[in-house]
Amino acid sequence: DGGITQSPKYLFRKEGQNVTLSCEQNLNHDAMYWYRQDPGQGLRLIYYSQIVNDFQKGDIAEGYSVSREKKESFPLTVTSAQKNPTAFYLCASNPTGRDQPQHFGDGTRLSIL
Partner 1 sequence: GQQLNQSPQSMFIQEGEDVSMNCTSSSIFNTWLWYKQDPGEGPVLLIALYKAGELTSNGRLTAQFGITRKDSFLNISASIPSDVGIYFCAGLRGSGNTGKLIFGQGTTLQVKP
Query: Residues interacting with partner 1, by CB under 8 A?
Result: 4, 6, 31, 33, 40-45, 48, 50, 58-59, 90, 92, 94, 96-107, 109
> In terms of CB distance, is 15 or 99 closer to partner 1?
99
DSSP designation for 41: S
Question: Of the two residues 44 and 71, which places its CB atom closer to partner 1 in the complex?
Answer: 44
Q: How far is the CB of 99 from partner 1 (least distance, A)?
A: 4
Please say which residue, 12 or 17, places its beta carbon nearer to partner 1: 12
Give the separation between CA 86 and CA 92, rounded to whole angstroms.
19
CB of 60 to partner 1, least distance (A): 9
Give the nearest distance from C-beta 95 to partner 1 in angstroms. Answer: 9
Contacts of 41 (CB under 8 A, 6+ apart): none
CB of residue 88 to partner 1, shortest distance in Å:
8
Query: What are the helix and strand counts (H, E) for the chain?
Result: 0, 11
How many angstroms separate the CA atoms of 48 and 53, rounded?
11
Distance CA 70, CA 83 (A): 29
